Amino acid sequence: MTKYKKSQNKKKEPDISASLIARIEYNKDLITQMLSGSCTKRLNNFDWLRQEISFSEPKTLFFRNTKEQAPYFDHSCTRGLGKAYDYILEQTHNKAELTFNEICNIHYFICNERDIQINDTFIHAGVVRKTNIPMEIESAIEDIIYRYKNDKKHVLLRAFDVHYKLILLQPFDDYNKRTARIVMNWILLENGYRPIAFTKKTDKELYPASLLSMANGDTKSYYRYMMNSMFVSQNNIIKQLKTSKVL
**What CATH number does the domain containing 162 carry?**
1.10.3290.10
User: Could you give the number of structural domains in the chain?
Assistant: 1
Domain that holds residue 97: 36-243
At 132 the pLDDT is 86
In a domain, 128, yes or no: yes
In a domain, 143, yes or no: yes
At 65 the pLDDT is 59
Higher pLDDT, 72 or 189: 189
Q: What's the pLDDT tens digit per position in 142-185?
A: 999 999 999 999 999 999 999 999 999 999 999 999 999 999 99
In a domain, 5, yes or no: no
Q: Is the pLDDT of residue 30 over 90?
A: yes
With H, G, I as helix, E, B as strand and everything else as coil, classify residue 72. coil
Backbone angle region of 112, left / alpha / beta, with phi > 0 → left and psi within -120 to 50 → alpha? left
pTM of the model: 0.89
The separation between CA 47 and the C-alpha centre of its own chain, rounded to angstroms, equals: 17
In a domain, 221, yes or no: yes
183 C-beta neighbours (distance < 10 Å), count: 25
Q: What is the mean pLDDT of residues 92-121?
A: 94
At 41 the pLDDT is 82
With H, G, I as helix, E, B as strand and everything else as coil, classify residue 10. helix
One DSSP character per residue, 119-172 reads TTEEE-TT-PPP-SSTTHHHHHHHHHHHHHHH--S-HHHHHHHHHHHHHHH--S
Q: What's the pLDDT tens digit per position in 221-246?
A: 999 999 999 999 999 999 999 887 65
Q: What is the mean pLDDT of residues 14-36?
A: 86
Share of the chain above pLDDT 70, in %: 87
At 70 the pLDDT is 58
In a domain, 11, yes or no: no
In a domain, 155, yes or no: yes
At 212 the pLDDT is 97
Q: What is the mean pLDDT of residues 75-82?
A: 88
The separation between CA 36 and the C-alpha centre of its own chain, rounded to angstroms, equals: 24
At 32 the pLDDT is 93
Share of the chain above pLDDT 90, in %: 71
Q: Are 123 and 175 in contact (CB under 8 A)?
A: yes
Phi, psi angles (nearest 5°) of residue 117: -115, 120
b/e 200-226 (16+ beta carbons within 10 angstroms → b): beebeebbeebbebbeeeebbbbbbbb
At 1 the pLDDT is 41
In angstroms, rounded to a whole number, what is the distance separating the alpha carbons of residues 205 and 5?
30
Higher pLDDT, 59 or 94: 94
Q: Give the max Cα distance, the chain.
A: 58
At 72 the pLDDT is 59
Rg (CA), the chain: 18
In angstroms, rounded to a whole number, what is the distance separating the alpha carbons of residues 215 and 179?
19
DSSP β-bridge partners for residue 123: 116
Q: Is the pLDDT of residue 188 over 70?
A: yes
Exposed/middle/buried for 65, CB within 10 Å: 0-12, 13-18, 19+?
Answer: exposed
In a domain, 238, yes or no: yes
In angstroms, rounded to a whole number, what is the distance separating the alpha carbons of residues 243 and 221?
33
Q: Are 181 and 163 in contact (CB under 8 A)?
A: yes
In a domain, 153, yes or no: yes
